Amino acid sequence: MPNQDQLSLFDDSTLGQPEPAAATAPDLIPTDAKIPIPPGTYQTMNQLAEHCNSCHRCDLGNSRTHAVIGRGNLQAPILIVGEGPGQNEDETGLPFVGKSGQLLEKILASVNLNTERDVYIANMVKCRPPSNRLPTPNEIAACKPYLLEQIRMVDPKIILLTGATAVRGITGDKRGITKIRGTWIEWEGRLCMPIFHPAYLLRNPSREPGAPKWLMWQDMQAVRDKLDEISK
């Protein structure tokens, strides 16, 4: 059984810094969301970040402060996909930097994972939806090519999908997160696991067996074991 430190999952975290932007011509972005961004368009994450900060493939670009690209190790074995930026993320340009991000860092640490070595974090959409609402299917479709390019460049062994929006956006699976969390899904030749979004755990703090936080601990142990297995 996990100890209380492992299940409290609330320690403060040291967060990474954004990468400097590269000089990439923004007029090369297909402004019509119906026009795909071909695989291999970007050679570096900096190029992608420059395009995202100039992108208007959907209306979210009209109200953003910063596009939120990602943070962590660009060669990480694990890539975590969130839903979309909130206010803290929009202001800093970094994903998962508020209370959910602090919780995520502690969850990772509980199984000896960290964002400097093991994890890269990105979102389904790069710009904050108004009032922190869920991104719409059209917004996800417009932004998904950027995420696919991030997955291609990082080339992770495992993808963690936080919440139903990330699961649906990547795999198309419309089942609720409580039904599919903790199960391995193969997508495009990659191992994916749906997990609870940290914000859901903040709203459900119980550590009793069967509670969301307890289930998250089981899921993260399975992720740790799988990573150890495939890294041998």
Over residues 83-90, the mean pLDDT reads 94
Reported as a single tens digit per residue, the pLDDT across 93-109 is 999 999 999 999 999 99
From 2, 228, 226, 231, select the one nearest 107 (Cα to Cα).
2
Domain boundary assignment for the chain:
4-230
Confidence of residue 163 (pLDDT cuts 50, 70, 90): very high
Residue 214 clears pLDDT 60, i.e. is over it: yes
Model pLDDT, residue 147: 97
Model pLDDT, residue 31: 73
CA dihedral in degrees (12, 14, 156, 218; nearest 10)? -20
Residue 165 clears pLDDT 60, i.e. is over it: yes
* pLDDT above 90 as % of the chain: 81
In this structure, are residues 187 and 173 in contact, taking their beta carbons and an 8 Å threshold?
A: no
Model pLDDT, residue 17: 42
Residue 178 clears pLDDT 50, i.e. is over it: yes
Model pLDDT, residue 155: 97
DSSP E strand stretches across the chain: 71-72, 78-82, 119-123, 158-162, 185-187, 190-195
Reported as a single tens digit per residue, the pLDDT across 20-29 is 333 445 556 7
Does CATH place domain 4-230 in 3.40.470.10? Answer: yes
Model pLDDT, residue 32: 79
Total-model pTM: 0.87
Residue 116 clears pLDDT 60, i.e. is over it: yes
Model pLDDT, residue 34: 79
Other CB atoms within 10 Å distance of the CB of residue 35: 11
Task: At 169, list the tokens.
Answer: 């956006």
From 138, 143, 137, select the one nearest 124 (Cα to Cα).
143
How far apart, in whole angstroms, are the C-alpha atoms of residue 175 and residue 196? 13
